[in-house]
């Protein structure tokens, strides 16, 4: 069994913790409890791979997250479909740490259950393609595509 | 020429020259050279470290000055960052220190009287090492429960040893979390080069021992020693050398039995019952010491107990002693000293230990003491005094003279007496003259008469009789003995016997003879007063001239004459015996002096 360090990256409140909770514990809460520092969860993906998921606190502050990214094997970018600003945050992170681009990654466009509130333009999708080859329209609330996203990432790693 | 040469050179060596030129440019251009070296630097460093792990330390030295500068320039920021973290950290550390201290104290108290503690006390006594230090050394115990070898970079677990079941969390998550915390602390809390080295996890302790590529995290229960910490620093270095390859290759992580065995060696446990080597030592000294201690202790306890019992008994006795109020009882060198209030009449003879009394005089109103006091005042052994609740009753028979009555009155006025009831009776019962005369007849020959306060004695008797009588009756009054006649028996007897009576006539007594017989009768009667059974013996005698028959008949006649006369004078015949000295032959000689009647007094 090989462990892989997977980091969740995204602006605060986009649903990083919710996505991990949904995937690992199959659980969702409407209540927002911001993550402090980092929260660790593990998930056995298959007989040879185990994810050690680093759910890092919202990326709105400058650079404090950098040490946590050290040695990461894969990245899950998260944006909020109802909050275009969250995409901007991702761009900033990448500008700061361009090496992240070289890692296997997926992007979760989250909160898709809030259909009425989704604000999305095609150019947003273009920006995401610059970050990663794989993106998923997810909802931590309903669980849509969440598992698919994680599994896809594990395939990228093996 | 030179041109040609240059041309030829250029023709033949143009490629090499270009390379040399490029190399020269590389050497001279720092920027370029740096860029080039940087490409291999990593690899070179890895190689160097592989050959000599200590190089890593030198290599990774950080310029501390820049940190100091940064902190100096941004003090406020650091303070802001540290404040919320330092507070709880200090609190926790203080809490844990107190917790450990109190557990140490508890343990010390627990051990206070155990055999082990005694053994340690003995050891402390013998070696001079402070007891607390010995307790500390012997009681610290720990158990290394988990060991994690964690990759510095990714925070991923390289190898784990220990019981996974006792882990609350997934061991991978635990490793990642520790690394994250370490990163967090390194970034936000500590100064240059410092990192988190220990943390508390519930009641366990987590040590983080940094290594070049991998950290070792140890979960320990109990109170580990500094020596254990050193062991882990050493172990971390060793593992880096021996398992360098395994640590570097991610693919071998979490799947390395050899490394696991190595880590398992570090699951050390130290318990209190550990020190086997001590067992071999003889415990004789200790046991002897314990035995002596125990003997001494039991002796002390026993003598204290005995002393206490004795003290208690004497206290009780003193408290029950009438007329004594005990205030303090001391025991000094085999002697008890009791102080308190003491009535002069207090009797201590019942105490069964020698007690010196230091009493302050006072008047005790104890019933027993009141009794003693009254008895002393009355000075009359026949009066029985009873005192109950300060009420006095006198009983018994006593001659109640005026003095006695006065003393009884005085006694009734003593303090502490609420009532005095005198039930004592007169003894001997008071006699009147009349009752006395009735039960004590006056001796014969004496008469006694009481007129007013005077007893008049009269009559005749012996001096002894008179004296006795006077003694008995003088209590009834004054004695008047002017009319008494005193005689003595011997005198009377002589009066009777002194002269034989010359008597010739056989038919009548002459005047002289009757006079003499009157005297004899009177005297004998006096004698009879004293000696009632006395007899007067009359013996007739003659001169035996003529026929004996006639002589004897005459003697008989004379005897009868005398006896009749005496009888007539009031002497009973039973008090008279007669006797004739009979004649047997005729003497032929007339002798009137031999014709007599003799008088004798016989019993
Ligand atoms: N409707 C809906 N709400 C979501 C979804 N995912 C997250 N949320 C809500 O969004 C809020 C923030 O979610 P978190 O998962 O805590 O966000 P986060 O990215 O972990 O935030 P930080 O930890 O602060 O960086 C919570 O109230 C969630 O309930 C989703 O898919 N649909
Ligand atoms: Mg969160």
Check residue B192 and give its pLDDT.
61
Mark the residues whose beta carbon lies below 5 A from ion ligand 2.
Answer: A 16-17, 35
With contacts defined as CB-CB under 8 Å, which chain B residues touch A71? Answer: 151, 153-156
Q: Which pLDDT belongs to residue B280?
A: 45
Q: Is residue A126 scored above 60 in pLDDT?
A: yes
Contact list in A for residue B170 (CB cut-off 8 A) is: 42
Q: What is the DSSP letter of A23?
A: H
Tell me the C-alpha to C-alpha distance, in Å, between residue B75 and each of A97, B85, B90, B165: 28, 16, 20, 46
User: Could you give the maximum distance between any two Cα atoms of chain A, in Å?
Assistant: 43
pLDDT score, position B535: 92
Say what the pLDDT of residue B275 is: 47
Chain B contacts to A (CB-CB under 8 A): 151, 153-157, 170, 172-173, 175-177, 180-181, 183-184, 186-188, 250-251, 253-255
pLDDT for the residue numbered B278 = 43
- pLDDT for the residue numbered B424: 85
According to the model, what pLDDT value does residue B533 have?
A: 87
- Among the listed residues B175, B2, B167, B145, the one whose alpha carbon sits nearest the alpha carbon of residue A3: B175
State the ligand closest to the CA atom of A110: 1
Residues of B in contact with A5 (CB under 8 A): 154-156, 176
Instruction: Please state, in angstroms and rounded to a whole number, the distance separating the CA atoms of residues B419 and B393.
Output: 8
Output the CA A33–ligand 2 centroid distance in Å. 7
Residue with CA at minimum distance from ligand 1 atom 30: A111
Per-residue model confidence as pLDDT tens digits over B161-207 = 987 766 667 888 888 888 887 777 776 665 666 677 888 777 778 88
Q: Give CA–CA dist B600/B603, Å, rounded.
A: 10
Q: Of the candidates B153, B175, B187, which has its C-beta nearest A64's C-beta? A: B187
A70 inside 8 A of chain B by CB: yes
CB-CB under 8 Å, A73 with B184: no
**Greater model confidence, B139 or B332:** B332
Which of A129, A100, A98, B48 is CA-nearest to residue A109? A129
Residue ranges and CATH numbers for the domains of chain A are 2-157 (3.40.50.300)
CB atoms within 10 A of CB B131: 14
pLDDT at B575 over 60: yes
B14, pLDDT greater than 50: yes
Q: What is residue A55's predicted lDDT score, i.e. its pLDDT? A: 92
Task: Find chain B residues with C-beta within 8 A of A70's C-beta.
Answer: 153-154, 183
pLDDT tens readout for residues B101-112: 656 666 666 566
More confident residue, B400 or A157: A157
Is A140 touching ligand 1 by the criterion CB < 6 Å? Answer: yes
Least CB–CB distance from A37: residue in B170, B175, B180: B180
Atom 3 in ligand 1: which residue has the minimum CA distance? A111
Q: How confident is the model at residue A134 (pLDDT cuts 50, 70, 90)?
A: very high
Instruction: Report the gap between the CA of A72 and the closest CA in chain B (Å).
Output: 6
What share of chain B in percent tops pLDDT 90? 9
Q: Is the CB of A9 under 6 A from ligand 1?
A: no
Residue B549 C-alpha to ligand 2 middle, in angstroms? 188
Flag if B254 and A3 touch (Cβ within 8 Å): yes
Q: Do B154 and A71 touch (CB under 8 A)?
A: yes
Measuring CA to CA, how many Å separate A103 from each of A76, A153, B335, B575?
10, 11, 101, 179
- pLDDT-based confidence at residue B149 (cuts at 50, 70, 90): very high
Please answer yes or no on whether B156 and A40 come within 8 Å at the CB atom.
no
Tell me the pLDDT of chain B averaged across its residues. Answer: 81
> Is residue A156 pLDDT above 90, yes or no?
yes
Q: Report the C-alpha gap between A111 and A130 in whole angstroms.
A: 21
CA pair distance A10, A93, nearest whole angstrom = 9
Mutation target among B81, B172, B250 for the A interface, most CBs of A within 10 A? B172
Residue B158 Cα, gap to closest chain A Cα (Å): 9
Minimum CA distance residue for ligand 1 atom 7: A15
- A82-119: per-residue pLDDT in tens? 999 899 988 888 888 899 989 999 999 999 999 999 98
Question: What is the per-residue pLDDT for B377?
Answer: 86
Give the confidence band of B64 by pLDDT, cuts at 50, 70, 90. low
User: Which range has the worst mean pLDDT, A51-55, A127-131, B15-19, B308-312?
Assistant: B15-19
CA distance B67 to B204: 33
Strands (E) across B324-436 are located at 324-332, 335-342, 355-361, 384-388, 391-395, 397-398, 419-422, 425-426
């Amino acid at each position: 069994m090989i462990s892989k360090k997977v980091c969740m990256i995204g602006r605060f409140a986009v649903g990083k913790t919710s996505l991990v909770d949904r995937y690992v514990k199959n659980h969702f809460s409407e209540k927002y409890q911001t993550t402090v520092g980092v929260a660790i969860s593990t998930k056995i993906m298959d007989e040879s791979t185990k994810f050690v998921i680093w759910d890092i606190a919202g990326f709105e502050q400058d650079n404090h997250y950098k040490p946590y990214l050290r040695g990461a094997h894969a990245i899950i970018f998260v944006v909020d479909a109802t909050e275009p600003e969250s995409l901007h945050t991702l761009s900033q992170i990448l500008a700061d740490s361009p090496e992240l681009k070289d890692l296997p990654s997926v992007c979760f466009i989250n909160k898709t259950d809030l259909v009425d509130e989704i604000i999305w333009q095609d150019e947003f999708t273009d920006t995401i393609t610059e970050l990663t080859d794989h993106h998923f329209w997810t909802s931590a609330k309903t669980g849509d595509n969440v598992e698919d996203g994680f599994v896809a990432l594990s395939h990228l790693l093996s | 020429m030179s041109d040609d040469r240059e041309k030829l050179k250029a023709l033949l060596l143009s490629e090499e020259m270009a390379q040399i030129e490029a190399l020269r440019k590389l050497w001279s251009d720092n920027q370029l050279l740096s860029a080039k070296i940087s490409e291999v630097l990593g690899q070179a460093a890895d190689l160097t470290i592989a050959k000599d792990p200590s190089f890593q330390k030198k290599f990774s030295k950080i310029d501390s000055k820049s940190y100091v500068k940064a902190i100096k320039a941004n003090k406020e920021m650091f303070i802001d960052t540290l404040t919320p973290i330092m507070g709880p950290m200090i609190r926790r550390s203080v809490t844990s220190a107190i917790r450990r201290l109190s557990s140490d104290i508890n343990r010390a108290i627990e051990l206070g009287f155990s055999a082990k503690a005694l053994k340690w006390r003995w050891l402390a006594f013998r070696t001079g090492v402070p007891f607390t230090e010995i307790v500390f050394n012997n009681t610290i115990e720990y158990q290394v429960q988990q060991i994690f070898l964690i990759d510095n970079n990714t925070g991923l677990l390289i190898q784990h040893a220990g019981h996974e079941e006792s882990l609350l969390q997934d061991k991978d998550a635990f490793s990642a979390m520790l690394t994250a915390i370490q990163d967090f602390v390194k970034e936000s809390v500590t100064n240059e080069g410092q990192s988190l080295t220990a943390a508390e996890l519930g009641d366990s302790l987590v040590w983080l021992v940094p290594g070049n590529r991998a950290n070792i995290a140890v979960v320990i229960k109990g109170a580990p020693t500094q020596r254990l910490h050193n062991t882990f620093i050493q172990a971390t270095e060793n593992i880096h050398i021996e398992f360098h390859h395994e640590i570097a290759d991610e693919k071998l992580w979490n799947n390395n039995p050899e490394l696991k065995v190595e880590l398992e060696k570090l699951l050390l446990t130290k318990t209190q019952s550990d020190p086997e080597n001590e067992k071999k030592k003889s415990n004789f000294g200790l046991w002897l010491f314990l035995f002596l201690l125990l003997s001494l202790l039991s002796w002390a306890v026993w003598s204290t107990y005995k002393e206490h019992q004795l003290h208690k008994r004497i206290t009780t006795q003193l408290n029950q002693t009438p007329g004594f109020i005990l205030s303090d009882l001391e025991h000094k060198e085999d002697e008890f000293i009791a102080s308190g209030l003491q009535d002069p009449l207090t009797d201590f003879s019942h105490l069964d230990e020698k007690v010196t009394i230091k009493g302050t005089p006072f008047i005790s109103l104890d019933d027993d003491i009141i009794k003693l006091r009254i008895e002393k005042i009355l000075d009359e052994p026949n009066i029985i005094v009873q005192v109950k609740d300060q009420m006095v009753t006198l009983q018994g028979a006593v001659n109640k003279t005026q003095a006695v009555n006065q003393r009884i009155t005085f006694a009734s006025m003593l303090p502490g007496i609420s009532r005095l009831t005198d039930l004592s009776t007169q003894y001997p019962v008071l006699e009147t003259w009349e009752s006395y005369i009735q039960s004590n007849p006056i001796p014969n020959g004496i008469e006694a008469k009481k007129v007013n306060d005077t007893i008049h004695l009269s009559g005749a008797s012996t001096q002894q009789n008179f004296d006795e009588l006077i003694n008995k009756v003088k209590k009834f009054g004054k004695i008047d003995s002017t009319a008494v006649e005193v005689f003595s028996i011997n005198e009377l007897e002589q009066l009777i016997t002194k002269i034989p009576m010359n008597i010739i006539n056989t038919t009548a007594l002459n005047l002289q003879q009757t006079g003499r017989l009157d005297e004899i009768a009177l005297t004998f009667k006096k004698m009879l007063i004293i000696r009632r059974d006395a007899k007067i013996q009359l013996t007739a005698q003659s001169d035996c001239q003529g026929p004996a028959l006639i002589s004897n008949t005459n003697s008989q006649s004379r005897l009868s004459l005398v006896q009749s006369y005496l009888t007539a004078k009031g002497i009973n015949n039973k008090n008279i015996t007669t006797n004739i000295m009979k004649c047997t032959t005729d003497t032929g000689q007339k002798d009137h002096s031999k014709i007599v009647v003799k008088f004798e007094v016989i019993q």
